[in-house]
């Protein structure tokens, strides 16, 4: 996790928009030869390589809807905002190359606070070798708003859509699920304790993995490279941002298939299982509906199973069926129940 700096307060108005942008972006460096011109002109200039296609994705994060600054440090927020976008690029089986970053901040955010936010963005850009090539800053009358656009590319034959899955394809998941949602529940609980007793000192060590998955998630940059090295071309792919059930149903809808998901195959970290017991929550429900795990969910041809068998990064959790069969969860008791999407809905501040 990141270290927090002591905060002074320099009003943004003391610098002005252009000096502020120069100040916040002075440490960014260029990693890719596809970036001809980055920050410093009216627009960035990019040069795609032959026979590659570009993928573009954008996300908007709004204070009070997508993050709570009472427990989300600004540096972590900057880092996470980048990860949210990079995850979408990797979900297309592409390599992330460039970012643009735009922020709107109210006058309660001094220059030093924005420095912390951009330090997280810088850490993510350097760690994932992505070029920050532009963006904008402006004032806000209601807190902090962050908009990031990510660009990536891949050979046309490698790019993977949600629509390519077919009957009998295997459903494969990276990593484990549920930790990010539970990390949020722990932080919300400690926030409530703090509001009652500001002197309370929480012991968060038993929840370290959960909190890190919530505050500092990592996009799966390694997966497209891993699949390429295994000579596996996924037939469909999506990232887990809104919950496993929602994402599976997206694949089924776009691919016009059904699926069978096996409860016993869903990978859970021991800390997730222990915390579910403590909070009296069902671990399968958390995995299906929690969201913000930023793992990748994809389908492969059944003939490719020997290539991924035993790989510690990948778990086969089910298979695709004919659309007429519908989408189901096969429970540990071997009961077949309809799969329902209950993940995060960005147009509501509640789970749907």
Q: List, for residues 256-280, the tens digit of each pLDDT value.
A: 999 999 999 999 999 999 999 999 9
Q: Which residue has the tokens 């958390």?
A: 286
The verdict on 191 and 128 lying in the same domain is no
| 144 within 8 A of 69, measured Cβ to Cβ | yes
* pLDDT class of 7 with cuts at 50, 70, 90: low
Q: What token pair was written down for 229?
A: 């090295």
- 234-248 mean pLDDT: 97
**Residue 349 resides in a domain:** no
**Unique residue bearing structure tokens 């949210």:** 84
Res. 303 pLDDT band, cuts 50 70 90: very high
Query: What's the pLDDT tens digit per position in 67-117?
Result: 999 999 999 999 999 999 999 999 999 999 999 999 999 999 999 999 999
- 209, 151: one domain: no
Strand partners, 259: 320, 327
Q: Write the CATH number for 242.
A: 3.90.650.10
Residue 13: what pLDDT?
73
pLDDT at res. 265: 98
Query: Hey, is 350 helix, strand or coil?
Result: coil
Tell me how many domains the chain contains: 2
Residues 177, 316 within the same domain:
yes
**What does the pLDDT read at residue 51?**
83
Q: Are 182 and 210 in contact (CB under 8 A)?
A: yes
pLDDT digits (tens, 9 = 90+) for 316-337: 999 999 999 999 999 999 999 9
| 352 has a pLDDT exceeding 70 | no
Residue 347 has what pLDDT?
45
Per the domain annotation, does 163 fall within a domain?
no
Same domain for 143 and 193, yes or no, is: no
Same-domain status, 288 and 240: yes
- Residue 294 CB partners (closer than 8 Å, separation 6+): 83, 84, 87, 180, 217, 218, 219, 220, 239, 240, 241
3-state secondary structure of 276: helix
Q: How far apart are CA 225 and CA 222, in angstroms?
A: 5
Q: Domain of 20?
A: 12-155
Confidence of residue 343 (pLDDT cuts 50, 70, 90): low
Domain identity same for 56 and 145: yes
Distance of CA 326 to the CA centre of its chain: 28
Q: Which of 201, 274, 217, 221 is nearest to 79 (CA)?
A: 217
Q: What secondary structure does DSSP assign to 116-174, as a single string? A: HHHHHHHHHHHHTT-EEEEEEEEE-SSSEEEEEEEEEEEETTT---TT---TTPEEEEE
The alpha-helical segments, DSSP class H, found in the chain are 17-25, 74-90, 111-127, 179-196, 208-215, 222-229, 244-255, 270-279, 283-289, 305-308
**19 pLDDT more than 80:** no
Rounded-to-integer distance, Cα 53 and Cα 62, Å: 30
In this structure, are 228 and 315 located in the same domain?
Answer: yes
pTM as predicted:
0.90
Last residue of a domain, which of 129, 155, 181?
155
Q: Please check the confidence at residue 29 and state whether its pLDDT lies above 60.
A: yes
Beta bridge mates, 315: 173
**Would 242 be classed as within a structural domain?**
yes
Please indicate, yes or no, whether residues 85 and 212 belong to a single structural domain of this protein.
Answer: no
> What's 140's domain CATH number?
3.30.1330.10
141, HSE (Cβ side, Cα atoms, 13 Å): 0
Burial call 214-228: b when 16+ CB within 10 Å, e when fewer: bbbbbbbbebbebbe
On whether residue 350 sits in a domain, the answer given is no
Tokens of 323: 């659309």
Note whether 191 and 145 are same-domain residues.
no
User: Which tokens hold the place of 349?
Assistant: 């501040």
């Amino acid at each position: 996790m990141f270290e927090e700096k002591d905060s002074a307060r320099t009003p943004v108005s003391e610098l002005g928009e252009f000096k502020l942008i120069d100040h916040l972006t002075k440490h960014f460096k260029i990693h890719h030869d596809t970036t001809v011109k980055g920050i410093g002109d009216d627009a960035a200039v990019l040069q795609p390589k032959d026979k590659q296609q570009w993928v573009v994705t954008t996300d908007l994060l709004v204070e009070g809807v997508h993050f709570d600054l009472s427990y989300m440090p600004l540096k972590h927020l900057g880092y996470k905002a980048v990860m949210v976008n990079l995850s979408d690029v990797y979900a297309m089986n592409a390599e992330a190359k460039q970012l643009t970053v735009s922020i709107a901040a109210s006058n309660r955010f001094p220059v030093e606070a924005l420095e912390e936010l951009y330090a997280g963005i810088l850490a993510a850009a350097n760690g994932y070798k992505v070029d920050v090539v532009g963006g904008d800053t402006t004032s806000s009358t209601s807190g902090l708003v962050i908009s990031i656009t990510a660009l990536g590319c891949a050979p046309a034959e490698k790019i993977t859509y949600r629509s390519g899955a077919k009957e009998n394809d295997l459903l494969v998941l990276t990593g484990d699920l549920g930790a990010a949602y539970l990390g949020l529940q722990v932080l919300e609980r400690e926030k409530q304790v703090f509001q009652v007793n500001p002197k309370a000192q929480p012991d968060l060590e038993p929840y370290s993995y959960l909190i890190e998955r919530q505050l500092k998630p990592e996009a799966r940059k390694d997966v497209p490279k891993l699949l390429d090295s295994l000579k596996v071309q996924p037939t469909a792919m999506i990232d887990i941002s809104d919950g496993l059930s929602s994402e599976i149903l997206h694949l089924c809808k776009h691919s016009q298939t059904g699926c069978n998901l096996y409860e016993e195959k869903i990978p859970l970290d021991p800390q997730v299982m222990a915390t579910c017991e403590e909070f009296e929550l069902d671990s399968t429900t958390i995995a299906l509906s929690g969201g913000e795990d930023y793992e990748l969910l994809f389908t492969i041809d059944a003939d490719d199973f020997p290539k991924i068998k035993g790989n510690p990064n990948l778990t086969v959790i089910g298979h695709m069926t004919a659309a007429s069969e519908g989408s189901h969860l096969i429970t540990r008791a071997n009961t077949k129940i309809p799969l329902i999407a209950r993940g995060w809905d960005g147009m509501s501040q509640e789970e749907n």
